[in-house]
Structure 1
């Protein structure tokens, strides 16, 4: 079994700066050896991490809420639309993450190619998204436990919280291996569900009757709640598909990213989309939208458990519920890992850190422990279920996380748009791109920006019409003014003492130095009322990954030998599976 290696000291793109293109050395306050993560995630693990971030509580529990609020047709259409948007977004992110596999991922790209103040607000927003996701998953654990007992389910959340913190406090290999096997269990379960769902629909159920599309024609179906119900499903779909963008977060700890990231981007999402569309179609056929206890203030029942129960076996239903519980654990593990890395990325961002230096410190195993503890501390939100219903709280958290996911996708579109313009404007060849999603040029970024903006504006329809619901409205839109306030705050804080240069904020002392940072003809012209990065001068060479790691070369040769040798067909099948 292949596991990753530690990041080599010679690697110019992680934990160190690239002096070849004029970056300054690390400051004494930030020792170089205290800022490294380890490249310990293999392709096998990164692929499963992508699946783990999406096939989780959003699919197993969120689909029940979507079905109850919007009906089977709304659910199928909305998940299909969001799935396509996310697929294009993933391709755009793949281009940048393969070229620049750095800490912070799309947050760093938004800062570097679009706007430092926007990147600051985005990074903190996404960190909060991951931290709240952990709380959401721990709350979901309480909902799952209610299938068996209502006795103090918060104890399970506390046990899960301690376990997740312990795993993430060890080496990244431990996180990757746990995620791989939990995700493998989820994938196998979804496959079994798809097969079983077909048989249940055909008559292998408690009533021994052919169901067909009967539940699409009951009162209220197939579109429940009119346009408001349809629009509301978008945010639950966004919650469900959230996590694919964290592929970029793992890029900094992925072996041989110039080869492995494109492989992951090209193949993983189609598998996820296949699982989602088939599963959602079967849920809409086999579970009525008004099934008792499907989704209400106090509880949410997984449609997966309902289908297994309809197959006539309470034991099978309990097994399915157990698998859902492990998926909750996996999703929380994934969110805690991503949130920790985002906070670490904020603390080591160049040239000005956007989080306290404390969060840049790592253990011997390459774990940013302080960032981990800060991220996990937000999870105490899950214990708010002592005062309000678990179903109600989980719904609110789901809205907040779903909107945050959409903001992340919008930001990837903005960063990609500026990155591509800079690449063309500065005359760099497309052949230099280590991965290029050719069919998305040039329409990909504007499509993502427009489509996601429309989703954000439309999905809160039901919170305003026919009756205004302040709590629901806040859960849909509270992040927008917070983003604006944080962005403006960072801009005005940094505008006076510094100016933007090469996508960096450079101090007044450096500007007054007799040694120019750039040739006069390359000096960016910047408005004092904007910190939008100048695409003509942004440094497109800094942090580029160079294929000069000896271990990467060994892995490439080994893979090539396997795929051209005597057992090449068997190895091809193996790589497709893992």
Structure 2
């Protein structure tokens, strides 16, 4: 919450360190530093929900369907290496983000950090970019329903199912944040169990437990053009698929504004990201490359029939494998769309709070849900979904490219914000107050910035070879000029200034080590009403 907005809302000013306490009224809850939290989101997400959302909430079509296309275009080695490299980038990025989010747990997360620790114009452009990313992601998931539904029938009106799912996730997001959290918990649990079963089953299939009874081993790494297919272009193209698959991992920090005990829970979530990457992505990529040949018929069509997960179950002799995996993919789409709409609406709420969007987006229900932001984001997603009539398969590919690049821009921004954040903490002598420290600093954030910048430039290689594809080129690189234009325009219009380390706001909405009480005392993370009025 900005100082200007606090002054407008409550009629008092802040000296940057402490804030006068307005008169307490019955039924209202105080947030940190004593201001009434009636304009803030309610911390209703439990540790159980946040942990499961972090583990499986963002697993969706990128892993279940995208890995098949990546295998066919890049080969098994490219699939494994690219997923491993992007996984490492995501891990160091999440450590940097977790450090900031545990200290300043706000709904805007890294988008707010970019404005607070770097430049307001940077935060403005990043938040709008990521909001659009979430709106596109929701639409992409609705479009993917057609690809999944084709497994069972080609006659059912897939857009009708898309509308039904759209209504369900809108209701889940607008009723109560607990409804969102509970839906995500059970859908994420189903995805996690499916992937664990897939990995165990894949090991058995590779060892000879398949319909032919033959040992597979590394045979599929030696056929024809394997293990690398399509040369440098095929290798580079897998990066955007991997970025799309990992995309949304960083958005778990957006739940910080509605998480109980964020200073304790977010570090736990971040630490679990390593195992999530290793188990769900890298091991899955390895087993897919070992068991499924890159030239498997129709592998690049991105349908449940040719999903590597379906193929693995089929190889094990399961007659209902296709329907089972297809049902899991269907629930994954609902889950991913639900999570994207949640994140997008919270970012739009943050835009309104920070003065980057109309204040109407800050309107809350009695359950403190930003209902205007939810409706506006969902309507935009619905309009993008309507554009799928031009051709679902092609549109899904374009949307995947846009979202993948947008994710990488967000990871770059997190690295930059992390470097500036630690510089400010050092200059202001507050590093000892961090509830969680990023042990990869400073090389981790630097690595995230450099590698992601490189990936953004090279992953569009395929649109230049063998011939130039203008539409693909636009989908790969359109985000770059848009982001730059927004930064420059907002800076010129608002005359924003680069945040110096000594002038950074490291007080507002802060949770420090002193705010964390032992769990056995029963603190639920809602903030001590009067004990943290003076945090420093």
Q: Is the contact between residue 94 and residue 265 of structure 1 (CA under 8 Å) also seen in structure 2?
A: yes
Q: 1:184 aligns with which of 189, 211, 214?
A: 189
Question: In structure 2, how many angstroms separate the alpha carbons of the residues matched to 1:493 and 1:357?
Answer: 19
Q: Is the contact between residue 172 and residue 179 of structure 2 (CA under 8 Å) also seen in structure 1?
A: yes
Deviation for aligned residue 1:491: 1.1
Q: Is the contact between residue 434 and residue 513 of structure 2 (CA under 8 Å) also seen in structure 1?
A: no
Kindly indicate whether residue 275 of structure 2 is the aligned counterpart of residue 270 of structure 1: yes
Matched residue SS, 1:466: coil
Q: Is the contact between residue 300 and residue 391 of structure 1 (CA under 8 Å) also seen in structure 2?
A: no
- Structural mapping, 1:296-311, within 5 Å: 296=301, 301-311=306-316
Partner of 1:404: 406
Matched residue SS, 1:435: coil
Partner of 2:396: 394
Q: Is the contact between residue 45 and residue 180 of structure 1 (CA under 8 Å) also seen in structure 2?
A: yes
Question: In structure 1, how many angstroms separate the alpha carbons of the residues matched to 2:21 and 2:57?
Answer: 33
Q: 1:43 aligns with which of 43, 47, 51?
A: 47
Deviation for aligned residue 1:214: 1.9
Question: In structure 1, how many angstroms separate the alpha carbons of the residues matched to 2:96 and 2:460?
Answer: 27
Q: Is the contact between residue 292 and residue 308 of structure 2 (CA under 8 Å) also seen in structure 1?
A: yes
Kindly indicate whether residue 505 of structure 2 is the aligned counterpart of residue 539 of structure 1: yes
Q: Is the contact between residue 143 and residue 300 of structure 1 (CA under 8 Å) also seen in structure 2?
A: no
Matched residue SS, 2:502: coil
- Structural mapping, 1:410-429, within 5 Å: 410-428=412-430
Q: 1:345 aligns with which of 339, 343, 350?
A: 350
Question: In structure 2, how many angstroms separate the alpha carbons of the residues matched to 1:69 and 1:414?
Answer: 33
C-alpha distance 89-556 of structure 1, shift in aligned 2 (>3 A): farther
Q: 2:77 aligns with which of 49, 73, 80?
A: 73
C-alpha distance 315-299 of structure 1, shift in aligned 2 (>3 A): closer
Kindly indicate whether residue 458 of structure 2 is the aligned counterpart of residue 458 of structure 1: yes
Partner of 1:437: 438
Kindly indicate whether residue 151 of structure 2 is the aligned counterpart of residue 147 of structure 1: yes
Partner of 1:362: 364
Q: Is the contact between residue 49 and residue 184 of structure 2 (CA under 8 Å) also seen in structure 1?
A: yes
Partner of 2:210: 205
Partner of 2:471: 471
Deviation for aligned residue 1:543: 2.0
User: 1:285-307 deviations in whole A, cap 9, x for unaligned?
Assistant: 11121222222389983211121
Q: 2:256 aligns with which of 248, 251, 267?
A: 251
Matched residue SS, 1:174: helix
Kindly indicate whether residue 240 of structure 2 is the aligned counterpart of residue 235 of structure 1: yes
Deviation for aligned residue 1:373: 1.1
Partner of 1:383: 386
Deviation for aligned residue 1:101: 0.5
Deviation for aligned residue 1:391: 2.2
Deviation for aligned residue 1:24: 8.1
Matched residue SS, 2:320: helix
Question: In structure 2, how many angstroms separate the alpha carbons of the residues matched to 1:172 and 1:361?
Answer: 15
Q: Is the contact between residue 143 and residue 301 of structure 1 (CA under 8 Å) also seen in structure 2?
A: no
Partner of 1:162: 167
Question: In structure 2, how many angstroms separate the alpha carbons of the residues matched to 1:298 and 1:249?
Answer: 31
Please provide the CA RMSD for this pair.
2.4
Deviation for aligned residue 1:102: 1.2
Q: Is the contact between residue 61 and residue 300 of structure 1 (CA under 8 Å) also seen in structure 2?
A: no
Partner of 2:138: 134
Gaps of 5+ in 1: 1-11, 501-530, 560-578
Question: In structure 2, how many angstroms separate the alpha carbons of the residues matched to 1:235 and 1:23?
Answer: 46
Question: In structure 2, how many angstroms separate the alpha carbons of the residues matched to 1:223 and 1:113?
Answer: 42
Deviation for aligned residue 1:382: 2.6
Question: In structure 1, how many angstroms separate the alpha carbons of the residues matched to 2:491 and 2:162?
Answer: 39
Q: Is the contact between residue 400 and residue 475 of structure 1 (CA under 8 Å) also seen in structure 2?
A: yes
Structure 1 ranges of 4+ moved more than 6 A: 15-18, 23-27, 297-300
Question: In structure 2, how many angstroms separate the alpha carbons of the residues matched to 1:333 and 1:52?
Answer: 13
Deviation for aligned residue 1:250: 0.7
Deviation for aligned residue 1:445: 1.8
Structure 1 window deviating more from structure 2 (159-168 vs 32-41): it is 32-41
Deviation for aligned residue 1:315: 1.0
Q: Is the contact between residue 114 and residue 418 of structure 1 (CA under 8 Å) also seen in structure 2?
A: yes
User: 1:544-575 deviations in whole A, cap 9, x for unaligned?
Assistant: 125787xx74744359xxxxxxxxxxxxxxxx
C-alpha distance 208-327 of structure 1, shift in aligned 2 (>3 A): same
Deviation for aligned residue 1:136: 0.9
Deviation for aligned residue 1:261: 1.1
User: 1:12-67 deviations in whole A, cap 9, x for unaligned?
Assistant: 9xx9999463688999xxx9666221100112111111223432211111111211
Matched residue SS, 1:354: coil
Give the count of matched residue pairs: 501
Gaps of 5+ in 2: 1-5, 23-34, 524-536
Deviation for aligned residue 1:107: 0.4
Question: In structure 1, how many angstroms separate the alpha carbons of the residues matched to 2:192 and 2:254?
Answer: 22
Partner of 1:520: none
